[in-house]
Structure formats: structure tokens, C-alpha cells
Chain A
Amino acid sequence: MFSKALFKQSIKANWVKWISVTTATCIMLAIVIIVLGNLGINDIRDSLKDVFVQADQESQLKEQAVDGYELYVSSATTYPQLHNTMVQGFIQSIISDYQTQLDTLQGQGDISAEQKQQLMQQIANQYAENLDSIAMGTKEYKASFFYNSLFYYDTNSTSLDYDDLIDYAYLTTVYDMAYAQFMAGENATNEEAVMKAIMAKTTAQTAISKYKELGENANYQELGLQYMNTLMYDSTYNLQIQQGASADDAKLFAVSVKVISNTAITSYQFWLNEGGDVTKEEARANACQSISDQIPEKVSEALTELGNMDMYSLIIGSIFYRIAGLLLPMVFVIMAANGLLAGQVDSGSMAYVLSTPTKRRTVAVTQMVYLVTALFSMFALLTAVSVIAVFVSGGNDFAINYGQILLFNLGAYLTMFAIAGFCYMCSSIFNRTKYSLGLGGGLTIFSLVCTILGLFGSTVVPSAMRIEPMNFFNYLSIITLFDTNEIMLGSLDYIWKFAILLGVGLITFIIGVFRFEKKDLPL
């Protein structure tokens, strides 16, 4: 089943190819990993990330400033007319409704505080649902406002003052709404939400007291701006000091926040005053734009994706292990597989081996063992080189860890194993080099080219550079079964794909061996 003499002969015939291909591939791999490891190609990605993170923070600060300003101004201007004149009448009828129902309930027996609250909530919701005519915000706002009014009435029914009631209801509702709004956001903590709510309430309170002090004719826009700028400055400064910054640094940072606040509010004012039909929402959005909002959506998406792209796995996995690193081993396999059988049959030199008492099966098996062994030793060396290169680049802290690099090598070997099997089968079936190389080598190179073209359609390429239809080429290539991206993402799907590659290799090798035993040889 195995001929040592023939094996030696195959080594002698192919060692130059083997050495040159192995050396070149190893050097390429070492350079790729070590150079990438030292250049820090992810720096660009990190700085891109910073830009977007900063822009996000700035945008949040602006929103905070504008929202506060808006609350201040609306509290100082719309609050008096709305709540003193229009709402008061409704509140009175709500209160009397509540009192009637409460009396009825109390006539039936004692009533707990919980039941009372339920009744308040019920009536508040009812009125909020039915009172479409009052222009005072959303249903939730109305419900909250009415509930707070009833709550105040309930606790202060003995000496009820409607002005105080409305102040209380207004401010508490501001608090509630701010709390709810913050809690609806991502990563919200109760503590922060309470802080924001208190700030909102304070702002509204300040505005109302200013109104009571100065009356209708004061310039609340100017006052709101000043108030918010100061508030932003103070809160930032305090926060910085709390977090351990020096007074100077805290001051500097607070000033920059104040500038942002001032800019945002001023531009909000401009949009409202001079923007024509611009609604408050639009004005707010325009005023709070950050860098990422100003660039077109597609560009910003592309930049974000570029920032999130993993250059290491793209270059080492998708480009080196699936394309560049496979090319030379492919050339070796195509040439060696052809030379091991078809080449020798075509030239006639196989006659010398077969005119000795060496079985055809022995010849076929020996040549197969040579091809598999040559490939295996090539990839064993490549694995050693890659592991050393990863070690040099920082070991498991490197962007690609030892486990992943070992899987890359295993995958590349299995891919080459399948390709070698196919080339070997072609070499066994055909007596002519031109057909063996044509089909075996042709299809192999076709696969590689398809993988190159398919790369432009695959998800590892950022969408700015991706051409979706090109992904079609990936379906034409056996290399697609070696998915480096899946390995990087930690999916276990690569296991069954590796099994297919192994199966393809085994089956084609077996077909090759049996075919060579049975066919006519023109020797």
C-alpha cells in the first residue's frame, strides 16, 4: 500500500517547489502579523470612535441646555395665562367631581389611602382623555397635572389656595415628566433621573418666581439664556470637582460647557425668531446638531461602520488566510498533484515505476500520502510561524488570540486539503497534463478569484466599499466554507463547514485512488 522508494522520488521531484512556497508564505504571514501588530492600525478606528463619542456628548449637552431654556421660558410665559385663567376652572370642576365620588365611597365605608389614590388617578385619566379642548400638552401631561392637583387638594383641603395648588401641580408635573423622560432613555439610573428631575423642577420654579417678581413684560428669553448658562456652568463645575478634578481644570471644562450651552440656546432662539414656520421640535433639532448629525446620514453610517471595522481580522483572516496565503500553496498543490500522476502518465515516466512489481494502488496511495504530508508539514510550519508572530505582537492581548489563529491555520489547511483532493482526483482521472491542470488548476484558481471578487460583497467590508451583488461570487467558491469572520465572531458554525471541507478532500482522494487502479494507461 505504500512505497518508500516512490515517496522519496516524489520528495526529490517536488522539494524545491515545497521549500520556496513554504518559505514565501511563512515570511508573508510573519510580516503581516508583526507589522500590523506594531503599526496599530486600529488607531484610526479609535480616533474615529472618539470623534463620534464627543459629538454625541456635545449633542446631549446642547439638548439639555435647550430643553432647560425652553422649560424656563415656557414656565415664565405660558404658565401664567394657561394655568391661572384657563385651567383653574377645569381644576375646580375636577375637584368637585372628585369630592362627590369620594363622599359616595366614604358613605359606603372606610377608604384606604391606596383606594383614594386610585380614585384620583382614575378621575385624572378620565379628564385628560375628555378635555381635548385645552391646549396644555399631551394626555400624559394632563393626567399627571390633574392627578397632582387632586393630590394637593386632598392634603390641603382645609385651607385651599388655587394659586398654590396650580404651582404645586405644575412643578410636580415638570418633575414627573422629566423623571419619566430620562428613565425612558438607555442606561438610565434612578439616581441620575432624580437629579435631572430636580434640576427641571428648580428651573421651572425659578422661572415662575421670576414671573411673579417681574410680571409679563420682562425679557424671559434673555433671562432663560443667562439662567441656563449659569446652571450648566455650575453643575459641570461641581461635577468635575466631585470627580476629583482640580479647580482650574473644572473651571476650564465648565466654561467650555457654558459655551456649548450658550451656542445651542442662541441658535435655538434664532431658529424660533427668524426661522419662519419652523416648529419648536425642528428648531431644537437644528440647534442641537453635532458633527455626526451635520454630515449626510449615509456618510455618517459609513464612518461609524469604518470605526467599528476590525482591520486585523479583515487583513489577517479574510485577506491573508483566505486569499493571499492560499495562493502559493495552491500553486504548489496544482503543480504537485498534476506531477504526481497525470504528468508522469502523460510523459510516460510512470512506466518505470509500474514495470517494477509495484501495485497501482501502492503508487496512487503513496502519491496521495506525499501530497497530504507535504501540505500538512507546510501548514504545520505556517502555524508555528503564526503563533510566534502573534506572541511577538502581544500574545492573547493581540487583536487575534492564539485560539483564533490556530483555527485560521486549521481552516486554511482543510481548505487546501479539499483542493488537493480535487486536484489529485483530476490528476488521476486524466492521462493528459492539459486536462488535469485545466480542470484541477482551473477550478482552483477560479475559486480563489471568486473569493477575491466576493470579498467586495461580503460583510467584512464596510458598507461604503461593499457592492452587495458581488456576494454572489462567494457561492461559487469552496473557500467560502472557510469563514474567518465567523471564527472571529465566535460562532461555532465553522465546525460543520470544516467537516464539509474534510469530507470533500477525503472523497476526492478516495475516488482518485480507485480510478487510478482501474483505468487504461498509455505507457
Chain B
Amino acid sequence: MSELIEVQHLTKDYGQGRGIFDLNFSIKKGEVFGFVGTNGSGKTTTIRHLMGFLKAQSGSCRINDFDCWKDSTEIKKSVSYVPGEIAFPDLRTGTEFLKAQAELLGLKSMDRANYLCQKLQLDTSANLKRMSKGMKQKTAIVAAFMADKDILVLDEPTTGLDPLMRDTFLELILEEKERGKTIFMSSHLFNELEDTCDRVALIHNGRIIDITELNDIDNLPTKTYKIGFTNNDDYKKFKRLKFEIIRSQPQYNQVTVKIDNAQINDLIKALTRYEVQYVAEIKFSLEEHFKQALKKYKEGQNV
């Protein structure tokens, strides 16, 4: 039973092209799975199905082999949730809220909650209504993480966090991953997914367009370098060599080359003959990858 979360042909049609259509993916135990897409692309709808808040029109989603709709109470024994929209029950302070939540969860000890508060620098004694967006987000994160359940479902968990706090949070995610948690996390920010996820799915207009292993992107067989020369002569000479040049900018004496990883030594040897201003690797990012995937998808649709 290595597939912990399994989504098959999941469809919810809200009409006018809105909703999610025929989603298929599965997440292994211990995996961090990213879910990326533009606003309104269907991320939250998918998550609501996983949490058993919405009933699938067709298809199914299962967690731990339980149907998310029919056995929604059962799956919540192993799932924690940070909702995308932060609104708290009508209680006074963060402490009161966390205590109420602990009572609902049947938690005896608040140790884990205290640890999380400390890590996220959260003062829970603040009035819930007067909390800033970031504080509310942190409170929601603590409420979800304190139960220490096996699966974390996070809907855009970093919204409202400042960049430093976002890093702390990503650290926390990695820490949880170390502890063997399975994490399903949606976002529209690629870089935070790049730093944490094992796999990322791209959803667009309710359909999954691409699912990528981040390892594959990091270890591509080819790499791209941007090389700047101090003078135009060297630039011209270099261009005559047999490297695959994908972009050249004569006004800056600048070329972009794509080479096999095996060719790297040839390139360095060649460069020693010229006066090189700089060499920079252009990382092939997740964003880049999805842009291409999206482009391909759109072209496919237009045909």
C-alpha cells in the first residue's frame, strides 16, 4: 500500500468550463506533492474533494484506501488541513482556538503546539479578530500541524507569510518530511515548491497538464550557459565553434549555449582561449518547464 492518496477520474463540473475534469494522480507515502496552478484553476476544489467536503460527480479519491466522501470521518484521523481561506470560529484568542481545536482532536498534550508556536514565532494570546493575515496563517498552520497526523493537506499555506517566515515554514515542511509525513501542498509560487516537493502537478482550467519529478529537472542531460566576452572579436570567434547556440546578443557580446553534460570540459577548454567576462548557468526551472508544458498543451488544443 505505497499509494497513500489516490485520485482517479475525479470530475466536478460547475458549468461554463469551471470545475475539475478527469483528474488522475497518486501520492506515495512520505512524498511531498506539489499542486500548482493559476487562480481558479481548480486547486482548492480538488483539495475539498480530498477532505470530503465536496462529493465527486464522477471518479473517486481515496486516502488510506478510504473513500474521501463516504468515510470522511475516517480519513480525518490521519489527515490535517490548512484551509486556503483563513476564518476562525467565533472565539476570543488564538490560545482559546487552539485549545478548542485540541479538544476536538482529542489531543492530550499541547507540547507539539508550543514547539510550533515557538518555531513560527507566534504569540497565540492575541485576539483572533485583530490578528494580521500572517498571524492568522501561522495560527492555522499550528492548528493543523499540532495534531501530528500522517498526512498534511495544505492549501496555499504560505500566503500572508513574510519571506523570512516563508523560509521557516519551508524548513518545517522538510522537517515533517524527514519525520515520514506525506504532504499535499498547493501553491502558485514555483520556487517554494521547487525547494520542498518531490513531485509537482500542474493544473490548468481544471485539468492536470503535467506531473513532474523535480529530480528529473535538476538532473537534465543538457545544461544551458550564458557566456559574455570582453570584446567583439572573441565573441565572433566563439560563435564559429561547434557549440549549439540557442541565443546570441551581439550588442552585449553574449551567447547562450546548450551542451550535453559530457561536453562541459570541451567548453571550458575552448573558453580558455578567449577573454571571458563571465560564465553563468541558466537553471532550467520548474517555471520554465511548466511554461513549455502549458505552451505544448495549448498548441495541442488549438490543432
Q: In the complex, what residues of A have CB within 8 A of residue B87's CB?
A: 347-349
Count, A-B residue pairs, CB within 8 A:
85
- Asked whether, in the complex, the Cβ of B100 is within 8 Å of the Cβ of A357, the reply is no
B90 contacts chain A at the CB level, 8 A cutoff: yes
Q: Which residues of chain B are within 8 angstroms of A523 by Cβ–Cβ distance?
A: 48, 51, 53, 83
Residue of B nearest to A519 (CB): B55
Contacts of A13 in B (CB 8 A): 89-91
A348-390, CB under 8 A of B: which get 1 and which 0?
1101111111111000000000000000000000000000000
Residues from chain B with a CB closer than 8 A to the CB of A522 are 48, 53-54
Could you tell me which residues of chain B, from 68 to 99, have a CB within 8 Å of some CB in chain A? 72-74, 76-77, 79-81, 83, 85-92, 96-97
Q: Are A9 and B100 in contact (CB under 8 A)?
A: yes
Residue pair A353, B53 in contact (C-beta under 8 Å): no
Q: A348-B85, A352-B143 are in contact. Are A358 and B90 (CB under 8 A)?
A: no
Q: Are A355 and B81 in contact (CB under 8 A)?
A: yes
A5 at the B interface (CB under 8 A): yes
Task: Kindly list chain A residues whose C-beta atoms are within 8 Å of the C-beta of B92.
Answer: 12
Please give, as numbers and ranges, the residues of chain B lying within 8 Å of A5 by CB-CB distance: 100, 103-104
Q: How far is the CB of A339 from chain B (nearest CB, A)?
A: 7
Q: Is the CB of A353 within 8 A of B73?
A: no
Nearest CB of B to A16, in Å: 10
Chain B nearest CB: distance from A123 CB in Å? Answer: 99
In the complex formed, the residue of A with least CB distance to B99 is A5
Contacts of A351 in B (CB 8 A): 51, 53, 81, 83
In the complex, the answer to whether B81 meets A359 with C-beta atoms within 8 Å is: no
Partner of A521, one of B54, B88, B100, B143: B54
Give residues of chain A (4-25) contacting chain B, Cβ–Cβ below 8 Å. 4-6, 8-9, 12-14
Q: Assuming the A-B contacts A354-B51, A520-B53, A523-B83, are A9 and B73 also in contact, with contact meaning beta carbons closer than 8 angstroms in the complex?
A: no
Q: Decide yes or no whether A3 CB sits under 8 A from chain B.
A: yes
Residue B101 at the chain A interface, CB threshold 8 Å: yes
CB-CB < 8 A to B77: which residues of A?
Answer: 357
- Taking a contact as CB atoms under 8 Å apart, the answer to whether A339 and B48 are in contact is no
Residue pair A339, B90 in contact (C-beta under 8 Å): yes
Task: Determine the main DSSP class of A at the interface with B.
Answer: helix
Contacts of B40-59 to chain A: CB distance below 8 A = 48, 51, 53-55
B-side contacts of A349, CB under 8 Å: 87-90
Whether B104 lies near A3 (C-beta < 8 A) is: yes
- Give the Cβ gap from A269 to chain B, nearest Cβ, in Å: 87
Q: Which residue of B lies closest to A523 (CB)?
A: B53
In the complex the two chains form, what is the Cα distance from A344 to B72 in whole Å? 19
B90 to A352, Cβ gap below 8 A? no
For residue B126, CB closer than 8 A to chain A, the reply is: no
Contact between chains at A357 and B91 (CB < 8 Å)? no
Distance in angstroms from A485 CB to nearest chain B CB is 40
Q: Is B200 an interface residue (CB 8 A)?
A: no
Contact A353 B104 (CB under 8 A): yes
Asked whether, in the complex, the Cβ of A344 is within 8 Å of the Cβ of B89, the reply is: yes
The answer to whether A358 and B104 have CB atoms under 8 Å apart is yes
Are A9 and B89 closer than 8 Å at their CB atoms? yes
A8 CA / B54 CA spacing, docked (Å): 27
On whether the beta carbons of B103 and A355 are closer than 8 Å, the reply is no
- B143 — nearest CB in chain A belongs to which residue? A352
The verdict on B105 contacting chain A, using a C-beta distance below 8 Å, is yes
Instruction: Report B78 CB to chain A, min CB distance, Å.
Output: 9
A160 to chain B minimum Cβ distance, whole angstroms, is 110
Shortest CB-to-CB span from A519 to chain B, Å, is 8
Interface residues of A in 101-123 (CB under 8 A from B): none
User: For residue A358, which residues in chain B have a CB less than 8 angstroms away from its CB?
Assistant: 73, 76, 104
Q: In the complex, A360→B54 CA distance in Å?
A: 12
Report yes or no: A520 in contact with B54, Cβ–Cβ below 8 A.
yes
- Which of chain A's residues have a CB closer than 8 A to the CB of B100? 5, 8-9
Q: Return chain B residues, CB-CB under 8 Å to A360.
A: 72
Measured in the bound complex, the distance between the Cα atoms of B54 and A82 in whole Å is 107
Q: Determine how close the nearest CB of chain A comes to the CB of B293; give it in whole angstroms.
A: 29
Determine the distance from Cα of A126 to Cα of B54 in the docked complex, in whole angstroms. Answer: 99
Decide yes or no: A356 and B76 within 8 Å by CB, A5-B104, A6-B104, A520-B54 being known contacts.
yes
Does B144 touch A at the CB level, under 8 Å? yes
**B90 pairs with A12, CB closer than 8 A:** yes
A521 to B106, CA, bound (A): 24
In the assembled complex, the CB of B154 is this many whole angstroms from the nearest CB of chain A, namely 11
Q: Which residues of B contact A4 (CB under 8 A)?
A: 103
A348 to B83, CA, bound (A): 8
Separation of A4 and B103 alpha carbons in the complex (Å): 9
A356 touches B90 (CB 8 A): no
Q: Distance in Å from the Cβ of B37 to the closest Cβ of chain A?
A: 18
Which residues of A have CB within 8 Å of B143? 352
Residues of B within 8 A of A344 (CB): 89
How far does the alpha carbon of A520 sit from the alpha carbon of B57 in the complex, in Å? 11
Chain B positions within 8 Å of A, measured between CB atoms, are: 48, 51, 53-55, 72-74, 76-77, 79-81, 83, 85-92, 96-97, 100-101, 103-106, 143-144, 147
Query: Can you report 27 residue pairs joining A to B where beta carbons are below 8 Å apart?
Result: A4-B103, A5-B100, A5-B104, A8-B100, A12-B90, A12-B91, A12-B92, A14-B90, A347-B85, A348-B83, A348-B86, A349-B89, A349-B90, A351-B81, A352-B83, A352-B88, A352-B104, A354-B51, A355-B83, A356-B101, A357-B77, A357-B105, A360-B72, A520-B55, A521-B48, A523-B48, A523-B83
Name 19 extra pairs, CB < 8 A, besides A347-B85, A355-B51.
A8-B100, A12-B90, A13-B90, A347-B87, A348-B86, A348-B87, A351-B51, A352-B83, A352-B101, A352-B104, A353-B89, A354-B51, A355-B144, A356-B76, A356-B104, A359-B73, A522-B54, A523-B48, A523-B53
Interface positions of A (Cβ within 8 A of B): 3-6, 8-9, 12-14, 339, 344, 347-349, 351-360, 520-523
Closest 6 CB pairs of A and B: A13-B90, A347-B87, A355-B81, A5-B103, A356-B104, A521-B53
